[in-house]
A and B are shown apart, each in its own frame.
Chain A
Amino acid sequence: MLRVIFKNLWNRRSRYAWLFMELVLVTVIAWQLIDRSVVLMYDRSLPMGYDIDRLVKIDVSTLPEKNADFKPEYDTEEGRINSIHAFLGKVRAFDGVEAAMASGAYAYMGSPQLNTYYTYDGSTDTVMVSGQFFWTGTDFFRTIGLEPADGTPAEVFDNVAPGEVILTETLARQFSPDGGVPTAKLFNPNTGEGVRAVGVVKDVRRSPLRRSYSLAFVALAPVPYDNFACTARLKDGVDMKTFIDEFRSRASRELTAGNYAVKAVTPYTELFAGMAREGGITNSYRRGMALTVFFMLNLLLGVVGSFYLQTRRRTGEIGVHRAFGATRGKIRTILLGESFVLMTVAFIVGIFLYLQYGLAAGLDFGYEEPGDTTVADTWVSSFGIHFAAISAIVYVVMLVCVAVGTYFPAREASRVNPIDALRNE
């Protein structure tokens, strides 16, 4: 049967030329679009290492001096620090809250952060570290839900002091291969400042937008900013929407401390969705999917159109096949085979072309950033596996498209009555 298929294709090569060119181009374009979407999907599917579903961010701001409720006696450094702790106390006492911590307004867990270089001990090798700053004495680790790695006692979290860091397991391995707490100090080669690692936590990702598990939690003393962010963890079983509604209705009356008042409350899931949207990541993903659907629809139309018009003209030939004993199934198989072979050859040409581009420009590695030092461990960064995996996905998507596009014309063609067909000849 393969010989018949190849013969048919060769004899109709000029008729199939347009469809062939379209298949080659769709392969190249679909590769680019599907690559981006699959890498983004993969990044989103990686475990976070902590449960963001129960976290809410509360934006807190200082009242302006003109406001009637402004109290000048609290507007000192000490007054503000005391107000931050008083505010946290009120949030912890709020119905449904399990734990709460405070951070700079733009230093909440998952916010874009500064990256710094560290060297280990006397080594000249630098490791770029993605830093997540936190305020000491505000219950950061319990609120976020970070777990100590083996060998790190939980008390470390309560006693960590400014100038100390806690590393994720992945980052700790960069400095000490056994994954334990690095014993020597880490130095920032630019400023000469040293920080001491005092513990290791199980791997977490900073946000769903980042692939890396390499993260350093850098301890800072609380700072009396005008604005700060409070993160609260809800108790297990508390419904997020009910909590937010309740919080919103009571916050302005109950949750003020000194001159601090609540501006907004946002679930972390919404926060990260917003970051993905504003960073263009959500759009990039949706755009890729929309354009893939667009090109596949075009391909489907092209295949349906070509095969319907062809099968109408091939009634006589199909009649001969049927007269010589070919079953309807065989006719369908021949026509489907023609489209599969045509698509496969076009696909091979297409991925060969894309490979040239991929070798020169690289494949899509998602949104890795400096400091994302573990990216190399995933399939995304391995050119061979990455190329093979995406090629396979593109092939399957196109195969489904071509199969759907060919099946109905093939079914109609196979229903031809051999007597009618031969009489027309």
Chain B
Amino acid sequence: MRIWQTIRHNKLFAAIYIFGTALALASTTVAVVVLNSMIAPVYPEYDRLSSAFIQRLSMELPEGGNMGYSMSYDLVRDHMYTLRNARKVSAYMEPWESAYASRSDGGLDFPVKIKYTDPAFFDVYSFRFLAGKRYSDAEFESGMPVAVVGEKTAREAFGAGDAEQYIGKDIRVNFTDYRVVGVVKESTPAQTDSYAGVYVPYTSKQDYDQAVNGIPWIGQLKLVTVTDSLDALQAEIAELEARFNASHEGYQVHFFGQPVSHAVKTFRPGIQDTEFRLSGVFLVFALVIMALLIIPSLNLSGIISGHMESRMAEMGLRKSFGATRVRLLREVLRENLWLTFLGGIVGYFFAYMMLKAGVADLFMSYGVATDFTNEMIFSPVVFLSVFLICAVLNTLSGLLPVYRSLGRPVVESLNEK
């Protein structure tokens, strides 16, 4: 093949070209994988594209001022669990202070993320159970201290072993014992909606049904739903909001346009930022990709430009035998495209190594340790993006210098010989 000849005859040019492309591709692939893992369906959040969330609301109080918090149990029980436009509904609590779990070997407790949920949480998120099952409706209703634990957390608490062995054991979290009824494949902390090391029924929490400071509808529960029509669900909540405000003198509840989609929830800087548009986020992302590509493109342009000069005589000969400028342009670009794809493959490999080494955590605002799974790295979206980036990089860097070189008169080109 011609590409191998090009590489054999111009080893240095090919090496710099491939390595330069690989650098650019690796960095942009990491960025694409990070973005993709934030918004695309990944374990166990396979319903991301149809998920909708209510995380926080605000209540204006009769005595002045307002209270911003999550939802009370009364609100969830009476209105949210019966939403007409949601296919699945789950409520959960996330304490903001650290929780600590005990080790069976008597060592001091280790920090663990705990989520207080209802059984429907395991319908909304598709956890893979390695042993046991979720807590039952009966266990939830009676507030039994039972738990579903992530395999890594179970291993840390009880020591290495088979998932089945952990079932029936007690895990102590914040000095309370919970009987393990299920062990799931643990997701990564970057999946903030679903991730926890320990899941327990929120009814096992002492004050789960208490409204904060006795204020109606204000409590500790957040809501995740799966819906076929976000607009209809938003309209239903807006109607609920209006009904409350009309019937509770002095109180005004604000849902701030919630429920919102997973993507909006992920990128919206503040819950009250109702003017937020996703297009702004994607624009910034596109600019970041451009910034990561523009320098390597200039780099390649310079190298291609230099390489074309050394091929002037060859081009002059081809032209004098009748080859058109467009034909030569197409040939040279095709050659470069092959080199770009070779660079792309090397770059993808670099990106894989970088992601496995934790480089992508640098792009996460809070530095959570993210275990990028093969599912995230080798997704079709990422493949397609990398292919497109290759094509853009090739066109960006090659078109102008090649076109300019081929524009020189035949006599001048032949004179190079």
Contact of B13 among A21, A29, A287, A309 (CB under 8 A): A309
Rank and list the top 9 A-B pairs by shortest CB-CB distance, nearest first.
A309-B306, A18-B302, A248-B108, A302-B299, A305-B303, A22-B298, A277-B367, A287-B362, A305-B16
Contact of B100 among A263, A287, A308 (CB under 8 A): A263
Evaluate contact between A301 and B299: CB separation under 8 angstroms: yes
Tell me, rounded to whole Å, the shortest Cβ–Cβ distance linking B176 to chain A: 5
Contact of B302 among A29, A280, A306 (CB under 8 A): A306
- B60 sits at the interface (CB 8 A): no
- With A64-B176, A263-B109 as given contacts, are A287 and B363 in contact (CB-CB < 8 Å)? yes
- With A15-B309, A249-B106, A313-B309 as given contacts, are A294 and B23 in contact (CB-CB < 8 Å)? yes
Residues on B with beta carbons closer than 8 Å to the beta carbon of A304: 16
Q: Which residue of A lies closest to B312 (CB)?
A: A313
- B364 sits at the interface (CB 8 A): yes
Residues on B with beta carbons closer than 8 Å to the beta carbon of A21: 298
- Give per-residue flags for A24-43: 1 if the beta carbon is below 8 A from chain B beta carbons, else 0: 01100100000000000000
Residues on B with beta carbons closer than 8 Å to the beta carbon of A251: 108
- B27 sits at the interface (CB 8 A): yes
Of the four ranges (under 10, 10 to 19, 20 to 34, 35 or more), the interface on chain A belongs to 35 or more
Of the four ranges (under 10, 10 to 19, 20 to 34, 35 or more), the interface on chain B belongs to 35 or more
- Dominant SS at the B interface? helix
What are 13 contact pairs spanning A and B, CB under 8 A? Answer: A18-B298, A18-B299, A19-B298, A22-B302, A29-B295, A66-B176, A261-B175, A264-B100, A282-B367, A298-B295, A308-B16, A309-B307, A313-B306
Q: Which residue of A lies closest to B305 (CB)?
A: A18
- With A263-B109, A264-B108 as given contacts, are A227 and B97 in contact (CB-CB < 8 Å)? yes
Q: Which residue of B lies closest to A25 (CB)?
A: B295
Tell me, rounded to whole Å, the shortest Cβ–Cβ distance linking A191 to chain B: 15
Residues on B with beta carbons closer than 8 Å to the beta carbon of A248: 107-108
- B291 sits at the interface (CB 8 A): yes
- Give per-residue flags for A366-389: 1 if the beta carbon is below 8 A from chain B beta carbons, else 0: 000000000000000000000000
Contact of A265 among B106, B108, B291, B296 (CB under 8 A): B108
- Give per-residue flags for B294-329: 1 if the beta carbon is below 8 A from chain A beta carbons, else 0: 111011011101110110000000000000000000
Max chain A C-beta neighbours (<10 A), residue from B100, B362, B366? B362
- Give per-residue flags for A206-219: 1 if the beta carbon is below 8 A from chain B beta carbons, else 0: 00000000000000
Docked complex Cα distance between A263 and B97 (Å): 12
- B174 sits at the interface (CB 8 A): yes
Tell me, rounded to whole Å, the shortest Cβ–Cβ distance linking A70 to chain B: 9
Tell me, rounded to whole Å, the shortest Cβ–Cβ distance linking B143 to chain A: 11
Evaluate contact between B295 and A283: CB separation under 8 angstroms: no
- B347 sits at the interface (CB 8 A): no
- A117 sits at the interface (CB 8 A): no
- A243 sits at the interface (CB 8 A): no
Contact of A25 among B23, B298, B301 (CB under 8 A): B298
- B20 sits at the interface (CB 8 A): yes
Tell me, rounded to whole Å, the shortest Cβ–Cβ distance linking B353 to chain A: 14
Q: Which residues of chain A (363-411) have a CB below 8 Å from chain B?
A: none
Residues on B with beta carbons closer than 8 Å to the beta carbon of A309: 12-13, 303, 306-307, 309-310
Docked complex Cα distance between A247 and B109 (Å): 12
- B401 sits at the interface (CB 8 A): yes
Residues on A with beta carbons closer than 8 Å to the beta carbon of B174: 61, 64, 263
Evaluate contact between B298 and A306: CB separation under 8 angstroms: no
Residues on A with beta carbons closer than 8 Å to the beta carbon of B361: 283
Evaluate contact between A280 and B366: CB separation under 8 angstroms: yes
Evaluate contact between B23 and A64: CB separation under 8 angstroms: no
Max chain A C-beta neighbours (<10 A), residue from B13, B100, B367? B367
Evaluate contact between B12 and A308: CB separation under 8 angstroms: yes
Residues on B with beta carbons closer than 8 Å to the beta carbon of A301: 16, 19-20, 23, 299
Residues on A with beta carbons closer than 8 Å to the beta carbon of B279: none
Evaluate contact between B367 and A18: CB separation under 8 angstroms: no
- A105 sits at the interface (CB 8 A): yes
- B142 sits at the interface (CB 8 A): no
Evaluate contact between A305 and B306: CB separation under 8 angstroms: yes
Residues on B with beta carbons closer than 8 Å to the beta carbon of A61: 174-175
Evaluate contact between B367 and A67: CB separation under 8 angstroms: no
Residues on B with beta carbons closer than 8 Å to the beta carbon of A306: 302-303, 306
Q: Which residue of B lies closest to A24 (CB)?
A: B298
Evaluate contact between B106 and A252: CB separation under 8 angstroms: yes
- B274 sits at the interface (CB 8 A): no
Contact of B306 among A29, A247, A262, A310 (CB under 8 A): A310
Docked complex Cα distance between A21 and B396 (Å): 14
- A330 sits at the interface (CB 8 A): no
- A295 sits at the interface (CB 8 A): yes
Q: Which residue of A lies closest to B416 (CB)?
A: A313
Q: Which residue of A lies closest to B364 (CB)?
A: A283
Tell me, rounded to whole Å, the shortest Cβ–Cβ distance linking A288 to chain B: 9
